[in-house]
Amino acid sequence: DQALSATVTYLVIYTAMNLGAFAVIITLARRSGSAEIESFSGAFHYAPAMTVAMTIFFGSLAGIPPLGGWFAKFEVFRVLATAGEPWGYVLAVVAAVNAVIALYYYAAVLLKMWAEDAPEGEYLPVLFTPSLVSALAICGAVTLLFGVVPQVVARFTHVSLLALGG
């Protein structure tokens, strides 16, 4: 029951984080014509709101408190560590190593966005459509809310599992 609850919690939060991150990636890729990491260089200079949003989503994916991904990872690690089985510890170690590798990747992308200069002629601002603003606002709010007030997602997960007969 705890494992299923942790999995559903992780999936709910993971969905919001990823949808938000992909909304940023797609928007910046449409502007530059490329989704290569290099194409995001200097994004802060022409898309500061997108850079802040990506920082929230990547920070959450990395599991940095107080973002939603932190609570999701905490729940998964808690269930693995308290499973009372050797495989639980092995999976927890594998997940921890994966989290460190992912943190390095996310930090490298964010460093390009924040610290590097934009390519020549790339200082025109990004246009925000109402649907993009809505998507980023919803995903950002969910990512922040579930990290700051994790009992909201825990309660949602509990009610959902009860509705499914769990």
Q: How far is the C-alpha of 119 from the C-alpha of 43, rounded, in Å?
A: 9
> What is the distance of C-alpha 106 from the center of its chain?
10
pLDDT (tens digit per residue) in 21-74: 999 999 999 988 899 999 999 999 999 999 999 999 999 999 999 999 999 999
Q: Enumerate the domain spans of the chain.
A: 2-161
List CB contacts of 158: < 8 A, sequence separation 6 or more: 5
> What DSSP element (H or E) covers 3?
helix 2-32
pLDDT (tens digit per residue) in 83-133: 889 999 999 999 999 999 999 999 999 999 999 998 877 777 888 999 999
Q: How far is the C-alpha of 132 from the C-alpha of 83, rounded, in Å?
A: 41
Is the model's pLDDT at 134 over the cut of 60? Answer: yes
Average pLDDT over residues 5-26: 93
- Give the per-residue pLDDT at 3: 83
Q: How far is the C-alpha of 17 from the C-alpha of 22, rounded, in Å?
A: 9
- Give the per-residue pLDDT at 166: 57
List CB contacts of 159: < 8 A, sequence separation 6 or more: none
Q: Nearest CA to 146 among 13, 54, 22?
A: 13
